[in-house]
Amino acid sequence: MRAVYYSSGNYEAFARPRKPAGVDGKRAWFVGSGLASLAGAAFLVRDGQLAGERITILEQQTLPGGALDGIKEPERGFVVRGGREMENHFECLWDLFRSVPSLEVEGASVLDEFYWLNKDDPNFSLQRVTHQQGRDAGTNGLFALGDRAQRDLVKVFLATREEMEDKRIDEVFGEEFLASNFWLYWRTMFAFEQWHSALEMKLYLHRFVHHIGGLPDFSALKFTKYNQYESLVLPLVKWLLEQGVVFQYGTEVTDVDFSFADGRKQATALHWVRDGEPGGVELTADDLLFTTIGSLTENSDNGDQRTPAKLKEGPAPAWDLWRRIAAKHPDFGRPDVFGSHIPQTKWESATVTTLDHRIPEYIQKVCKRDPFSGRVVTGGIVTVRDSSWLLSWTVNRQPHFKQQPKDQIVVWLYSLFVDVPGDYVKKPMQECTGEEITREWLYHLGVPVELIDRLAAESAKCVPVMMPYVTSFFMPRKAGDRPDVVPPGAVNFAFIGQFAEAGDRDCIFTTEYSVRTAMEAVYRLLGVERGVPEVFASTYDVRALLNATSRLRDGKPVDLPGPHALRKRLNARLETSEIGELLKEYNLLPE
């Protein structure tokens, strides 16, 4: 087994690894068919050169993709549980999709298609925040961070990981910060709550410091042409099937057996229930097992236009599997740190499909673009600042589904506070039908009150989705709560997905993290002689740090200390130095 190492630059990125020794005698098993498993199977084929027919993906549902979903349900309508925001420095994700053929453009990869799309139609928002029924909230792209809030940010940025372990965000940030535009942008973009992990907040700051300036208008983001299922999952699954990879649906994995001896850990058996019948397979040292642990979409429930989505707090198979595994060794993580706090980890989303041109007229007033243009519409979420639900909504490029009629618009919305009565519909979101959720959204969209009920009933169809565990990975945590991708001494198994601890400094709730854990797992277990792309090192780039500093100060220069004469002399010395040139470039020196 080769140690994983990280690399950057063309030398490693463009090199083809040699075929690992003994790979022809191995088989691979994946628990779950989310992005981590699909990526892992692809890396086994492409870089590990394992024959596709020797790879089996076990999935409880009847479709692959996990949280990367998007479907039209009979009677209910179009459904997406969530959206995926991407950026140019998702190094592992783009390394994967450079090898997956596009379903849209002949001779192109999924990466080519995505790259060209975002070159021709770059993403940015023209209206990030509203209030007072669809009016501009006047944030004007400013972060509005006072001196104390800026000090809080710097303190967290410079803190060690250990200092942030097991702490909540509101334990390390004061009220001034939590009242700022920055926190409004941040929490609604990433779905952070005040009680979530300060450590994860710190990791996000480091990971995306190069995009601080793009937070107010989403110019940092890039999106797929269609929903994530059709744009990412389907081409990847098609390519895997062409390589011979086996998908076994209707299969709930219930347990994994291990042997422990002399510091060596080996998975020895898989147990499952398939179509109601118990089954499984014995595993040898040549059987590689990749298990997705935990699940942010476990026990999701869909409502419809007339029915609220239910909050399911009963048995959760994905979490129960991790609990059984974790009980067998301390190195296998602590699932209850994440999966036993439904009041803190739940929120609700909804997919609204407009049925005629009446509602899109109001969408256009807010986003300032034609939603039927086929190009960027809102450019990311529009947050309703004075919404008691803290509601945000977005319209991606339309059609969002290939089978979507040309005169319909698919809107996705979500709320962080689902237990609080609404402003128009005086009920908590989690008690609302699709029609009632649409009414609340139309109210905040600026539809005249006398038209709201009629338009919600006649001009839209809405599918609400309640997700009990959707932010479970944001719960305060410490080292050891998430198991390493390949635990110490493991010889034939790995943990992948959002609840596995990747070796490099990445953050969760991204497509990148799922792919990174899969890449690390495959390269480690097979000994692939290629570096895993390191996380983009903007946190060590003085230019990125200076630019972020300038933007966080809303362009206000840094005041030099001391008397006026001394400040003048310091300015003069700085202006003739490389440091001064940098400070001037990022508007940090006073004129």
Number of domains observed in the structure of the chain: 2
| Residue numbers of the domain that contains 283 | 17-70+227-295+321-334+478-529
pLDDT of residue 571: 65
DSSP-derived secondary structure letter, 459: S
pLDDT at residue 318 is higher than 80: yes
Q: Are residues 245 and 285 in the same domain?
A: yes
Q: Are residues 494 and 565 in the same domain?
A: no
Q: Does a structural domain hold residue 487?
A: yes
Q: Does a structural domain hold residue 439?
A: no
Q: Does a structural domain hold residue 347?
A: no
| pLDDT tens, position by position, 391-414 | 999 999 999 999 999 999 999 999
DSSP-derived secondary structure letter, 231: I
pLDDT at residue 250 is higher than 60: yes
Q: Are residues 233 and 327 in the same domain?
A: yes
Instruction: Give the confidence band of 558 by pLDDT, cuts at 50, 70, 90.
Output: confident
| pLDDT tens, position by position, 131-149 | 999 999 999 999 999 999 9
Q: Are residues 500 and 585 in the same domain?
A: no
Q: Residues near 315 by Cβ (< 8 Å), separated by ≥ 6?
A: none
**CA–CA separation, 205 vs 306, rounded Å?**
41
The CATH number given to whatever domain includes residue 482 is: 3.50.50.60
Q: Are residues 490 and 567 in the same domain?
A: no
pLDDT of residue 573: 67
Q: Are residues 273 and 328 in the same domain?
A: yes
Instruction: Give the confidence band of 579 by pLDDT, cuts at 50, 70, 90.
Output: confident
Q: Does a structural domain hold residue 93?
A: no
DSSP 349-362: EEEEEE-SSHHHHH
Q: Are residues 575 and 503 in the same domain?
A: no
Q: Does a structural domain hold residue 103?
A: no
Q: Does a structural domain hold residue 96?
A: no
Last residue of a domain, one of 491, 514, 529: 529
Q: Are residues 509 and 571 in the same domain?
A: no
Q: Does a structural domain hold residue 7?
A: no
Q: Are residues 586 and 508 in the same domain?
A: no
**CA–CA separation, 383 vs 135, rounded Å?**
11
- Spatial contact of 295 and 318, defined as CB atoms under 8 Å apart: yes
This prediction has a pTM of 0.96
Read off the pLDDT of each residue in 322-348 and give the average, rounded to a whole number. Answer: 97
Q: Are residues 485 and 577 in the same domain?
A: no
Q: Are residues 236 and 280 in the same domain?
A: yes
pLDDT of residue 570: 63
The identity of residue 409, as a single letter, is I
pLDDT of residue 184: 97
**CA–CA separation, 316 vs 295, rounded Å?**
9
Q: Does a structural domain hold residue 359?
A: no
Instruction: Give the confidence band of 83 by pLDDT, cuts at 50, 70, 90.
Output: confident
Q: Are residues 233 and 291 in the same domain?
A: yes
The catalytic site residues sit at 85, 204
- Other Cβ atoms closer than 10 A to 579: 14
| pLDDT tens, position by position, 206-234 | 999 999 999 999 999 999 999 999 999 99
